Amino acid sequence: MTTKIASGLERAFATRGFAEPSVEDLRDAAGVSLRTLYKYAPSRDAMVRLALEHRHQRYLEHVFGDPTKSSKQGLNETLDRVAGWMRAEASHGCLFHAAVASAPDDAILRELLERHKAEVSQMAVARAGSDLSISDLMVIVEGLTQAWSLTKDAALTSAKRLAQLAEMAPV
């Protein structure tokens, strides 16, 4: 039940933003009664957090595959998968950044954003077996996701070029 609700909430926030949907809209998106919605997410803030946690897991699975496997994945493949996510799921940019922008003083949302970005960067470095630092990779992936809405595949080409240059540069 939680996955169904979280999925519906994620879709609603991704398509309509964080301010626009009413609680009734969110209930409809989740496909449950208002009572059930409040049982799993007792406030609008809790609904946003539930949606973002769901988004985080879906993103990790899309970009890195099965989280229980520690298989190697080249950096270009990781960047291709990020671009695939952007094409299919986030053509307007990062939902985590949008959430923080909608409530800049919400420390919990900021922590979710920071955790999401850190886990993505750490997993990308670990899977790629690269000598790039986590910070370097975060900048490359963030550049790709932020530039996507403006330049699409050109952002992917640039991210791959920057990753290649960074791997060749002395530390």
23-60 tens-digit pLDDT: 999 999 999 999 999 999 999 999 999 999 999 999 99
pLDDT confidence of 100, banded at 50, 70, 90?
very high
Q: What does the pLDDT read at residue 55? A: 98
Q: Which CATH superfamily is domain 2-168 in?
A: Tetracycline Repressor, domain 2 (1.10.357.10)
Q: State how far the Cα of 74 lies from the Cα of 128, in Å rounded to an integer.
A: 5
The 10 Å CB-count burial string (b at 16+, else e) for 80-118 is: bbbbebbeeebeebbbbebbbeeeeebeebeebbeebbe
pLDDT confidence of 64, banded at 50, 70, 90?
very high
What are the residue ranges spanned by the domains of the chain?
2-168
Predicted TM-score (pTM) of the model is 0.93
pLDDT confidence of 171, banded at 50, 70, 90?
low
| 8 A C-beta contact, residue 55 and residue 95 | yes
Mean pLDDT of 139-158: 96
